[in-house]
Structure 1
Amino acid sequence: MTIGLVFLTGLMALIVGWLFRQTIDVQPWQAQPATPGPSSVRPAMRTGLWVFLGVASSLFVLFVSAYAMRLGLADWSPIPRPRLLALNTALLVGASVAMQWSVRALRRGDGGALRHGLAAGGALTVGFVAGQLAVWKQLADADYLVASSAAAAFFYLFTAVHGLHVLGGLVAWARAVARVRRPQDPAAAKLGVELCATYWHYLLAVWLVLYALIVSEDLGLAICSASPL
């Protein structure tokens, strides 16, 4: 279990370090415009996203810490592993790749590829959410509810909190798509796509940490057993 905690702590540290590097170029001591305009609002939006990701990372770290403490008690009993989790993970990986593809298409001025990339990213993300709900239904049908065991409770907690962050990302994705379709402000459309891609990469990184907690028996931290559901 100690090795597993060290591994996951290092992975979360990499995420936080990446967030820090994103903000290291911000120099608040430099003179700023007296009146805020588009050039000052847009960097503020980017910085706001990084601050939000930092807060979200702290929330997930707290949950993982609580899980690690609860795991050490003698009554810990893993739940069966839903097969759909692997497919859902692949869907989120595909969504992250599609969002990065959208950014590359935007930078080279390929409007068709941009729209296709955004559509694919949104569709794959909706598929991920639907898959997670299907996993919940599988567990509920098998009588693994929140109150069934500590392992089940943490499974629902982790997937629910992550799912809420994904749903929030879909709202931002819908706004980015609307801006791309009505390019009255190309700079705002570009910023929206780039921020969505950053957020999707973050969602994927956090999910990979949670997925390791859920299925990695080799780390000694698995919420689910090797027995499939």
Structure 2
Amino acid sequence: MEEKFAYIEGAEQPIAMHPKKFSLWLFMVTVVMIFAGLTSAYIVRQSEGNWLEFDLPSVFYWTSGIIVLSSVFLHWAYLSAKKDNLISLRIGITMASILGIAFLIGQWYSFVALVDMDVYLVGNPAGSFLYIFTGLHGLHLVSGVIFLIIVLISSFRYKVHSQSMVSMEMCVTYWHFLGALWLYLFTFMLLNH
């Protein structure tokens, strides 16, 4: 009795991901679920009536541009890290951090503008949802700015370079995610206010 053994060329390797990256992706999925639930609740509550109509603060347009520009700088920093251009890496992360802080300041001014328009957290649900959307996103953005600063410090300690990219890749992924999340929220609010 002859047994046949076949040699398989190019056998598939199991998909492997760095555990920290996997944790980040799980976290981002939970954030997406939270905002998906909130936007669904917004639509359901809006359809019930008693909904305050108001224009979104104009500062939202500025903050949207700021978050996009910060992502551009961070992506430039990422490409610089891959090429071991540490000066450009540091400049890019610094600019992304400054723009992230500018975004948060802009969000604060959006709250001021809402109060000036007599839109408050407590009161009509339209205002409440707007504060919750922007506040919760702002909280996540604070964590993103902290992450940027940690990676910036690591770059000065020569821990971010072409042979050590995990923290930089995670930072870029999270920051682009936060930017995309804001653009989604802003578009959603524009279309549904």
Structure 2 segments unaligned to the other structure (5+ residues): 1-12
- The answer for the alignment partner of 2:91 in structure 1 is 116
Structure 1 segments unaligned to the other structure (5+ residues): 1-24, 29-41, 223-229
Q: Aligned partners of 2:160, 2:80: CA distance in 1, in Å?
A: 17
- The answer for the alignment partner of 2:66 in structure 1 is 91
Matched, 1:182 2:146: no
Q: Aligned partners of 1:182, 1:135: CA distance in 2, in Å?
A: 37
SS in 2 for 1:81: coil
1:27 corresponds to which of 7, 11, 15: 15
Q: Aligned partners of 2:99, 2:14: CA distance in 1, in Å?
A: 33
- The answer for the alignment partner of 1:60 in structure 2 is 35
TM-score, length basis structure 1? 0.74
Per-residue deviation, 1:108 = 1.2
Q: Aligned partners of 1:172, 1:55: CA distance in 2, in Å?
A: 18
- The answer for the alignment partner of 1:170 in structure 2 is 145
What letter matches 2:190 in structure 1? V
Distance 1:184 1:165, change over 3 A: closer
Deviates more, 1:82-91 or 1:137-146: 137-146
Per-residue deviation, 1:149 = 1.3
* CA offsets 1:108-143 (integer angstroms, 9 cap, x no match): 111111111001100111000000001101212332
Per-residue deviation, 1:27 = 3.1
* CA offsets 1:51-87 (integer angstroms, 9 cap, x no match): 1111111111111111111011121222232111100
Q: Aligned partners of 2:181, 2:14: CA distance in 1, in Å?
A: 25
What letter matches 2:136 in structure 1? V
Per-residue deviation, 1:186 = 4.8
TM-score, length basis structure 2? 0.87
- The answer for the alignment partner of 1:13 in structure 2 is none
Given that residues 96 and 201 in structure 1 are in contact (C-alpha distance below 8 angstroms), is that contact kept between their aligned partners in structure 2? yes
**Superposition map of 1:68-217 within 5 A:** 68-184=43-159, 186=161, 190-216=165-191
Given that residues 120 and 128 in structure 2 are in contact (C-alpha distance below 8 angstroms), is that contact kept between their aligned partners in structure 1? yes
Q: Aligned partners of 1:61, 1:127: CA distance in 2, in Å?
A: 26
Q: Aligned partners of 1:117, 1:178: CA distance in 2, in Å?
A: 13
* Pairs aligned (count): 181
What letter matches 2:168 in structure 1? V
